[in-house]
Chain A
């Protein structure tokens, strides 16, 4: 526990220097996108099919979740590979009295803080534009944190298998992350997807997080059982992902 906190401390010391740059991609650009798109395109959208309300109010919770996924993906690829390969931060850490789980949980805690803090700013700004209709909207933050772990943990495991000459992050980005952000109910209900694509949306962690965030920010929160189902699905990804990450970290670092 204290080991993981020491790893978190290392990340925070570094972040004090880089947070301004990351703020731009973590919420400034997404906020501009959601306002531009939500307000302008929203004026053409017949929101009757979306259950009433403005398109902005429909889009904002989806974009918050989608951005949380992007931040989690970004933080679990290059920064993690650097720790394995170029700077060899992890090698320095395991020479000290830290266990492999301290590395995984320390870095994951930092990632969750990054995801939740950028989601919080995003949520606050969109609420100023009338996109939030319930105090339950605060539930967006734990939902995004959980989505962050569900996405990042398996990517941690994947990154642990990369060496300096092999990286398939661009591949993951193009064939998994971007399609997920397009087809997981961020911009329109997945019932509008062709029937054969719908199971892919159900399988994606993002869709479940979008559903939670939308239920939290709208006046109609939907059924509690559906919500619990979404949370359980994300938890499953998080737990299996962490198990895989611990296994791959061990393989990589203890020969």
Chain B
């Protein structure tokens, strides 16, 4: 793929804040119509990358082209074609839902009448038509998020950047947001999102990168990554008693890999039930057993570790 086909084209992209390197030389290409995800723990460099893509933060080194143009020279022209849903809502809580959209539309040079029509259309899209004249202050967190997403679409953007679109939302609100984002994707809008929810990445992304410590540690479609970095199934077993580690030695050779957690043991195997049979054949009887499909979460924890990042 040449850089002209990519909506985002980055080579050796670096972002430093003083001595701290937030983004440490990443390469990216995102095609039109793709749903692309940045996955990673807190502090992995996802948001810094998003801010550079959104042309509000200058790269410290490397090449970056957005929509085929140079963000440093054409930042305003590029931003005219982007939709941005920031991590923190930046709505004016004292204005009504519609006023938030119509005032924002003016920043894109959309005229008053067209702005109003577009605002009403988008509020219908995010299922907030009934709250059009309500003050944003009175909305729930999920509703505010949907207003922010509607606002990001006010200019019919070529590419929408969503920084943790569903963080902090309840399950109903998350599913509604996912469903709307999926519809956008079907309409051919390019979506670029960051998340640390694996289910979100699996649901929405055609392709994703896993970031850790400012670097890209893996790249591919969700299914590909699972095949590459994990097994098809995971067997989760727990033995009676506090310490699981003595049992782990006895599991040698069962599955491709085992991982001992304080409360359970994970056995990575192509066939979870077959692995369980070979465990019971060794005379071991776990007190509880769960066989499940491998998920992106297994890949993520395998690649970025289980250490808590604060």
Contact = CB atoms under 8 A, between A and B. Distances in A.
A94 B56 contact: yes
Given A13-B99, A254-B57, A97 B92 contact: no
Interface in B110-151: none
Contacts of A94: 56
Interface string A70-103: 0000000000000000011101111111110000
A93 B82 CA distance: 13
A255 B51 CA distance: 10
A48 interface: no
Contacts of A14: 92, 94-95
Contacts of B95: 13-14, 17
Interface in B89-109: 90-95, 99, 102-104, 106-109
A87 B90 CA distance: 6
A97 B77 contact: yes
Contact of A97 (B79, B86, B102): B79
B134 to A, nearest CB: 14
Interface in A1-51: 2-3, 5-7, 9-10, 13-14, 17
A93 B107 contact: yes
Contacts of A2: 109
B106 to A, nearest CB: 4
B226 to A, nearest CB: 34
Nearest to A91: B90
A37 to B, nearest CB: 35
Contact of B107 (A96, A253, A254): A96
B59 to A, nearest CB: 11
B176 to A, nearest CB: 23
Nearest to B51: A255
A17 B133 CA distance: 14
Given A13-B99, A255-B57, A6 B90 contact: no
A97 B107 contact: yes
B76 interface: yes
A89 B93 CA distance: 11
Contacts of B99: 13
A97 B94 contact: no
B80 interface: yes
Given A88-B88, A92-B90, A97 B108 contact: yes
Nearest to B85: A95
Given A13-B99, A254-B56, A255-B57, A89 B77 contact: no
A118 B260 CA distance: 72
A95 B79 contact: yes
A6 B106 CA distance: 5
A169 B180 CA distance: 44
Contact of B104 (A3, A92, A254, A255): A92
Given A88-B88, A255-B17, A95 B93 contact: no
Contacts of B54: 95
A91 B108 contact: no
Contact of A95 (B56, B91, B92): B56
Contacts of A7: 107
B94 A254 contact: no
Contacts of A17: 94-95
B90 A88 contact: yes
Given A13-B95, A92-B90, A254-B56, A99 B107 contact: no
Given A87-B93, A88-B90, A95 B58 contact: no
A97 B80 contact: yes
A98 B103 CA distance: 13
B86 A95 contact: yes
B84 interface: yes
Interface string A217-234: 000000000000000000
Contacts of A99: 76
A164 to B, nearest CB: 13
The 9 tightest CB contacts between A and B, nearest first, are A92-B90, A96-B107, A6-B106, A97-B80, A95-B84, A88-B90, A10-B103, A97-B79, A97-B76
Interface of B: 17, 54, 56-58, 76-77, 79-80, 82, 84, 86, 88, 90-95, 99, 102-104, 106-109
Interface of A: 2-3, 5-7, 9-10, 13-14, 17, 87-89, 91-99, 253-255
Given A17-B95, A95-B82, A96-B108, 12 more contacts: A6-B103, A6-B107, A10-B103, A13-B95, A14-B92, A14-B95, A88-B86, A91-B90, A94-B56, A96-B104, A97-B77, A255-B57
